[in-house]
Amino acid sequence: MGFGGISMPQLVIVLVIVVVLFGTKRLGSMGEDLGHALKGFKKAIKDEETVIEKKADDS
């Protein structure tokens, strides 16, 4: 049994359908965009933590 009752062959079928619908080029660019978004989000969280630590040190 796979993830939440979905077996491996079912996951492969879904993956094939997604590749057929979107194409590998578009999926690659979507993945790249998602990676940039996550990187920016992590940087914003880290920056916010730094600001909070500085405010705590100043108090």
DSSP 9: H
pTM to 2 decimal places: 0.56
Which strand (E) or helix (H) includes residue 36?
helix 24-58
Domains of the chain: 8-58 (1.20.5)
Query: What's the rounded Cα separation, in Å, for the pair 1 and 32?
Result: 31
- Per-residue pLDDT of 12-49, as tens digits, reads 999 899 889 888 888 889 889 999 999 999 999 999 88
The whole-number pLDDT of residue 57 equals: 78
Query: What's the rounded Cα separation, in Å, for the pair 32 and 40?
Result: 12
Q: How confident is the model at residue 59 (pLDDT cuts 50, 70, 90)?
A: low
